[in-house]
Amino acid sequence: MNNLGNKIRELRRKKGITQEQLASVLNLSPQAVSKWEMGAGYPDVGLIPVLAGYFGVSLDVLFDFDVSQIKERVEDTLREAGRYFWNDFDKAEATYLRGIQAYPGALKLKAELLNLYECHMRNNGRTELAGKAIAVAEKLLSETEEPGITARTKCNLASVYNMCGRYEDAKNVIRSMETLWPLHINDRMRSAMFILKGRDRLEGATELKPCLHQELFACCDLEGEGYFEIGDWENALRSFEESAAVIELFLKDGRVAPDAYPIPGTESNHCHTVVSAAACLYKLGRVEECEEMLKKAYRIAVDSHTPEELTEDPDCFLAYKTSYHRHGLDEYRPCE
């Protein structure tokens, strides 16, 4: 209501009346109107529709309320916070919190704040953020039933619980989630693809294809992780090879290159899943094949980056090294 006093002053002057005249109409003291206009006080709730009627405006106008403006400001806040998301946690958090204070109904901001906490817990080991993350998640779930936000919130909450050692809580959250496929089948991209024709059909299908591509190779990879975790090396190998095959199917010109992947960042998934396959071959005692698979993964890491990136970016081989260590290949030989 910070702008309400300014709006009352603007409407009063536009109507050509004094504070005393407005006070007289409302059976109030001129001091009361003066306080409103200075921001030192606000009209009683019962007077709001009276003021709107007297000035001949809607409540939205009286409160200077513009939905499109608010959406634009929320998007601006999301973009600003996004610039700091990975490289300056404190600035990103402060930006989200400032936006939430200004627009408490903006669920997107709360969802992204939760995502910030979860990502930094998972990637940077910041387990001290768990309390904040859980509080944001619980508040979000109490405020919305919107399927997309609810699903994303529960996913992040389950991840936070898991990182805190609360595995059963994580499992219970996941069990409470909806199966969203029947809802997603009616999204914009699929509807355009199934119902429209020609260029409109093409637009929907082209937009959806990389999303489904990513879903499929990620699903194969994570299926492989599941098999690997229970010691089923044969099935794990099959799943990891399927994940790599899906990625390779969509490479531009069928070759690994810096601009060959339809989704930026897939080169890391490609390298990871090939190293994972090598680990399965090692577990199965197929050492020569393991060595060849590791060479392939190393070439992927090299060929998917520019010479400048290989020289300047220390993370170019991060997917290779992380997967190598995680899947126990250090007992085969030290990581290069």
pLDDT band for 275, please (50, 70, 90 cuts).
very high
Same domain, 169 and 71: yes
Residue numbers of the domain that contains 268: 208-331
Give the separation between CA 89 and CA 203, rounded to whole angstroms. 37
**Contact residues for 215 (Cβ-Cβ < 8 A; gap 6+):** none
Same domain, 231 and 277: yes
Same domain, 72 and 57: no
**Which of 81, 82, 83, 115 lies closest to 98, judged by CA?**
81
- pLDDT of the residue at 326: 92
Among residues 62, 88, 104, the one where a domain terminates is: 62
- pLDDT of the residue at 70: 75
Same domain, 156 and 47: no
Cβ atoms 313, 257 nearer than 8 A = no
In the predicted model, what is the mean pLDDT of residues 20-33? 88
Quick check: is 189 in a domain? no
CATH classification of the domain holding 154: 1.25.40.10
Decide: residue 40, CB within 10 A, 0-12 exposed, 13-18 middle, 19+ buried: exposed
Same domain, 176 and 263: no
Work out the number of other CB atoms within 10 angstroms of the CB of residue 125. Answer: 9
Quick check: is 26 in a domain? yes
Same domain, 82 and 168: yes
Residues 177-234: tens digit of each pLDDT: 877 665 556 678 888 888 889 999 999 999 999 989 999 999 999 999 999 999 999 9
Same domain, 165 and 58: no
Quick check: is 81 in a domain? yes
In the predicted model, what is the mean pLDDT of residues 289-298? 96
Quick check: is 196 in a domain? no
**Contact residues for 120 (Cβ-Cβ < 8 A; gap 6+):** 89, 126, 129
Same domain, 12 and 52: yes
Same domain, 158 and 92: yes
| Count of structural domains, the chain | 3
Angle separating helix axes 48-55 and 4-15, nearest 10 degrees: 30
Quick check: is 77 in a domain? yes
Quick check: is 20 in a domain? yes
- pLDDT of the residue at 60: 73
Share of the chain above pLDDT 90, in %: 58
Among residues 62, 84, 111, the one where a domain terminates is: 62
Q: Is 1 a residue whose pLDDT tops 60?
A: no
Same domain, 219 and 316: yes
Give the separation between CA 129 and CA 114, rounded to whole angstroms. 10
Quick check: is 200 in a domain? no
Among residues 18, 42, 62, the one where a domain terminates is: 62
Same domain, 52 and 88: no
Average model confidence (pLDDT) across the chain: 89
Please name the amino acid found at residue 107: L
CA distances, 322 to each of 203, 328, 336 (Å)? 37, 10, 12
CATH classification of the domain holding 311: 1.25.40
Cβ atoms 316, 309 nearer than 8 A = yes
CATH classification of the domain holding 46: 1.10.260.40
Quick check: is 198 in a domain? no
Same domain, 48 and 73: no
